[in-house]
Amino acid sequence: MEHRTKEQLEAEAAEALKTIAGLKKEGTLRVKNRLAIPPQAMPAQEAAARTKNVGEVALGYGENQARLEAERCLSCAPGADGLAPCVRGCPVRVPIPRFIAEMQAGNFGAAIAVIKETNLLPAVCGRVCPQETQCQAECTVGKSLKSPEKAVSIGRLERFLADRERESGTTARPAQKPATGRKVAVIGSGPAGLTVAADAARAGHRVTVFEAFHKSGGVMVYGIPEFRLPKSIVEAEVAGLKQLGVTFETNVLVGRTETVEDLLKTYDALFIGAGAGLPKFLGVPGENLAGVSSANEYLTRANLMKAYDDERAATPMYDARIVAVVGGGNVAMDAARMARRLGAEEVHVVYRRTRDEMPARAEEIEHAMEEGVIFDFLRSPAAIRGDEAGRVTGVELCAYRLGESDASGRRSPAAIPGSEYVFACDLVIAALGNESNPLLVRNTARLAADGRGRILVDGEQKTSLDRVYAGGDIVLGAATVILAMGEGRKAAAAINRLLE
């Protein structure tokens, strides 16, 4: 496919907008005209160039593209539950038709204000949320065209508005109620924690966020690469919370530096959003060899510790020429694409199902393929091989076939006996997901959790302890940014009711 620059896409959109403006002036703009508008492609860095830098790959819509994409929306009426289909698919219930209607009218400031009624992290969500399985999956345009990928690009419009506001320097501070004198502690500065901090601060409470790392942002800083979510975006969101009076204390590991019991002596309510930082490994012989890493550690070194910037950061990384990444989710795509940027000559994604079953976002898979990542489908490690020095020399792979569907709806993989072979590589990255870090649960008496260490909560995110709430990955296991935010919103509402 020919690469079109942002300028070219903008010029094409400008011409199409003239036609739309003419139809509006004549009063003849109909549903069929909106359905005929093609989805706007996302401008991006060329693949050959972007593997040599960590700059953002997706460049974002220009104003013409954003306005034209907004014109594709049919402004669906709410259903019996009072929600439009797309809103029903959004975990934080962003009023999507309202903000897009403002865009159609050219009122960009009003549009971003509508989004912020329920979502204070639009620049983040617009980049990393799986809209194609949430709001956009319910879009009437995609259903009318019998093509889900042709749904209105809600996430990209959200990103455009957030970036436009930030770049213009006109970011509005959300309204706050008078100070209540009540104090709320938030453990973890990931998406769930930041959402609770924002909603509690807007209710007039004094909020302190405790972060184990030296930078705030949680998984958005240590897990998601710069080329997908620039850290300046996260820093800007954190800065906005500081304007609301939220205090951030870094290098505080609750469960060690402080305990939940200690914090409850000072704070009126507490939210636990510590995330899921315990990586899953392969469970095969040889995974203790030098040259086997979890995606969690690999990405933390690359992102938070900036291993890609070897001129200014002395972060040790395992040199590798051929890399095997085991897994099929977004984290696997992030690790594989980062390995390309760190100089690996060959990067393979090993996945025991096919592309159709991969949980990673389609855009991330496509970007990885464009960047030269090789996909070895229907394969899974049986063992990891090493040399006399204890360093990885390869991974023994077994071929698989797909059987019947499992509980998740995906077809279950079954090993093919006698199909084992050795794939030569010098780094194996396990990207199989994470579980909850057991430290906080183990060191907090009477805090109920399941067998995997996930904190148990009720419908309002309340834990077994009085005045203590939890949400995000520490409750769900590894989930998405927007699902974590949805739990944070529920918890914040419950905390605000408690403190009234």
pLDDT, tens digit (0-9, with 9 covering 90-100), for 406-425 = 777 778 899 999 999 999 99
pLDDT at 21 over 70: yes
The CA–CA distances, whole Å, from 282 to 57, 375, 428, 429, 431 equal 30, 18, 10, 10, 9
CATH class assigned to 281-432: alpha beta
Q: Is the CATH number 1.20.1250.20 carried by domain 6-168?
A: no
Mean pLDDT of 20-38: 95
Question: What CA–CA distance (Å, rounded) separates 348 from 10?
Answer: 35
Could you tell me which of 498, 466, 443, 460 has the C-alpha nearest to residue 183? Answer: 498
What's the rounded Cα separation, in Å, for the pair 267 and 465?
A: 14
**Quick one: 1 exposed, middle or buried, by C-beta within 10 A (0-12, 13-18, 19+)?**
exposed
Domain boundaries 183-277+435-499, CATH class: alpha beta
State the virtual CA torsion across 139, 145, 146, 149 in degrees, nearest 10. Answer: -60
User: pLDDT band at residue 434, thresholds of 50, 70 and 90?
Assistant: confident
In this model, does residue 275 exceed pLDDT 90?
no
Instruction: Provide the mean pLDDT of the chain.
Output: 94
Tens of pLDDT, residues 172-196: 777 899 999 999 999 999 999 999 9
pTM, whole model, 2 decimals?
0.92
Using the predicted structure, report yes or no on whether residue 161 has a pLDDT greater than 90.
yes
Mean pLDDT on 56-77: 97
Q: Rounded to whole angstroms, how far apart are CA atoms 326 and 276?
A: 19
Question: Is the separation of the CB atoms in 327 and 303 below 8 Å?
Answer: no
pLDDT at 436: 82
Shared fold status for 183-277+435-499 and 281-432 = yes
User: What is the C-alpha to C-alpha distance for residues 105 and 100, in angstroms, rounded to an integer?
Assistant: 9
pLDDT surpasses 60 at 1? no
Q: Whose CA is closest to 296, among 437, 175, 138, 493?
A: 437
Q: For residue 435, what pLDDT band results from cuts at 50, 70 and 90? A: confident
Q: What is the pLDDT of residues 98-143, one digit of tens each?
A: 999 999 999 999 999 999 998 889 999 999 999 999 999 999 999 9
How far is it, in rounded angstroms, from Cα 484 to Cα 475? 9
- Split at pLDDT 50, 70, 90, the class of 432 is very high
What whole-number distance in Å separates Cα of residue 399 and Cα of residue 421?
9
Measured distance CA(444)–CA(63) in Å, rounded: 51
Q: Are strands 379-386 and 247-249 parallel, antiparallel or unpaired?
A: unpaired
What are the residue boundaries of the structural domains of the chain, listed by start?
A: 6-168, 183-277+435-499, 281-432
Of the candidates 500, 485, 480, 483, the residue with the CA atom closest to the CA atom of residue 224: 480
**CB 491 within 8 Å of CB 463:** no
